[in-house]
Structure 1
Amino acid sequence: MGYLCPVCAAPFGGGEPLADHLAVSAILHGGDHEAWLDDTVDDWGSISRADLGERVVDHAEETDDHEHIGEHSHRDPEPASGLPNGIDAPEDAAVDGDAALDGDAQAVLREARELTQEMQGDERSESDDERKES
């Protein structure tokens, strides 16, 4: 089941992707997405992605359609990029060279990429440890 963004009506394939959209839009652009989050989920900046997803779906219209970012199918357990929710961001994407983004936006994207890589490393280490224990 999908949800429409309560601000811009963009379709998303679940609560967490919708939460990601709202939070990233609010952080990078402010405006209506930030105002909506401030009015609806006052502690949105300090709660987990899962908690934010659970709270925003209560205010979102359900839809059978959702955004298909990048190339993926619903049978794949994880997008080829290894990023969550079908986010397609190739490792060699030139974040710093993107003239459409200001310095703050570029810094946010760099930090997000680093955190994602750290999380992927943690997940790989845990699965390696589980295999060793078997």
Structure 2
Amino acid sequence: MGYACPVCETPQQDEEHLANHLAFAAMLGNEGHEGWLDEHVPEWGKMGPDELGDRVTTFAPEEEFETVFEDTTGGHDHGGSGRLEDAVPPQRGRQAMGGEASEVLAEAQAMTREMYESEEE
């Protein structure tokens, strides 16, 4: 069981993965994900994955997926504090960063766009 992203229908393993997927896509400039979060969970940027996961799963019912998730392959640990704002600069976007961090974000945005474009084809 898992959740389909309410924006792009990408399968997610659990509430935490769904929350992270939505938040990171939004923070990387995906307007669809950011707009959806702003509409459905306006205070999403101040929430950690657990709290955000609880909120977003009310809009994404559990679904059966034939996708292999980490829980079927040995798992992994995300580490960190569990709070989104600890992983992201205070302001969203490249304006809050400089140098190498800005370049990494730009590359991640390009890769994300390519991923979504290839899924649409």
| Change over 3 Å in CA distance of 1:39–1:16 after alignment to 2 | same
- Asked which structure has the greater RCO (Cα within 8 Å, sep 6+), the reply is 2
**TM-score, length of structure 1 as denominator length:** 0.55
Aligned partner of 2:93 in structure 1 is: none
Aligned partner of 2:30 in structure 1 is: 30
1:9 equivalent in alignment to 2:9: yes
Corresponding letter in the other structure for 2:72: H
Percent identical among aligned pairs is 35
Q: Is the radius of gyration larger for structure 1 or structure 2?
A: 1
1:44-59 alignment to 2 at 5 Å? 44-59=44-59
Corresponding letter in the other structure for 1:21: H
Gaps of 5+ in 2: 80-101, 109-121
1:80-91 alignment to 2 at 5 Å? 82-83=77-78
**Cα separation, 2, equivalents of 1:107 and 1:50:** 28
| Change over 3 Å in CA distance of 1:18–1:5 after alignment to 2 | same
Aligned partner of 2:41 in structure 1 is: 41
C-alpha deviation, 1:74, in angstroms: 2.0
C-alpha deviation, 1:29, in angstroms: 1.9
Aligned partner of 1:74 in structure 2 is: 72
Figure out how many residues of one structure are paired with residues of the other and give that number. Answer: 86
**Deviation per residue, 1:57-76 (Å, 9 max, x gap):** 0001321117547xx55262
Please identify runs of 4+ aligned residues in structure 1 that moved more than 6 A: none
1:104-115 alignment to 2 at 5 Å? 105=105
| Change over 3 Å in CA distance of 1:83–1:48 after alignment to 2 | closer
Gaps of 5+ in 1: 85-101, 109-134
Aligned to 2:28, what secondary structure does the other structure show? helix
CA RMSD of aligned residues (A): 2.7
**Cα separation, 1, equivalents of 2:31 and 2:104:** 16
